[in-house]
Homo-oligomer: A and B are copies of this chain.
């Protein structure tokens, strides 16, 4: 009997796909995943969880959507919740298909999920300031007719926000194409800019992705898509009815009321630390620091992989970005103590 090999019958688009690497590397100080460094525990804002686990969660996630809507002063009908933004990217691509267009380097999941679904993707390189290449993007929209355009701003892993004017021109061009522009505002809370919420009423081909992952609740997996009701009702067709579990719904809703002031404080603290960390990093000889409006900082050093490995040996985990940007490393802003330790060790490694 021949051996049956599942690899022989996977779809063509899956054959070349590698799973997203999210291996756990043991470390003392974890600055690799753009998480909040401040421990948030259930008991910080909930005394007793009394919801029955034997019942299915609310398929409409009404309370959580209403809590989010209130914060943003929009209607809950303009919000769809996902098991992280990742799941919403899946739903968008499953609904509207491809081609998918996005600037690079950026968040890896746009490309991975486009390939998982099996749609074509177009990538437009950022310019030397890590800003959008407007001309190329507009050309690609006109010639390749993408269905979806993903723009992460502030961008991961570069840390900068893109020019609002350029994005607005892209949205306007996309509208005539027609295609949908999804601004991924995962890092917007750390940015001085107001983001694209104010433009939602002007463009019905605009959608926005946000998340609770970067502001202290990564473990809960709550991403949300903001857009007009027509757009959401299409994407809702492919949404799994019970995609957000009952505890996530309950705890995220509670966090948005009882814990919101604390979340705000944490954000303020991280922005303050980011500015300090940026300044200190730029003082270290051999380090080139890039501007950041997010909760992480991109920087370059010679022999970055060597530096990365030495940091791990000292118990500090950051992200090696050298496969996408030469000699680049990305460090998440930690607590004051963590950042101090990171700077000290980095200084030692670079022979400061």
Map CB proximity to B onto A228-242 as digits: 1 under 8 Å, 0 otherwise: 101100101111111
**Measured CA separation A122–B217 after assembly (Å):** 42
Map CB proximity to B onto A187-211 as digits: 1 under 8 Å, 0 otherwise: 0000000000000000011000000
Q: Does B6 contact A96, Cβ atoms closer than 8 Å?
A: yes
Determine how many copies of this chain the complex contains.
Answer: 2
Known: A117-B94, A237-B19. A53 touches B216 (CB 8 A): yes
Q: Does A22 contact B55, Cβ atoms closer than 8 Å?
A: no
How many chain A residues have a CB neighbour from B under 8 Å? 84
Contacts of A160 in B (CB 8 A): none
Known: A6-B231, A237-B116. A221 touches B205 (CB 8 A): no
Q: How far is the CB of A145 from chain B (nearest CB, A)?
A: 10
Q: Does A219 contact B41, Cβ atoms closer than 8 Å?
A: no
Interface of A, secondary structure class, is: loop
Q: Does A84 contact B242, Cβ atoms closer than 8 Å?
A: yes
Central interface residue in A17, A40, A52, by most chain B CB within 10 Å: A52
**Measured CA separation A6–B80 after assembly (Å):** 16
- The 10 A-B residue pairs with the shortest CB-CB distance, nearest first, are A219-B246, A22-B59, A22-B241, A11-B97, A221-B245, A116-B238, A53-B219, A6-B231, A36-B54, A39-B52
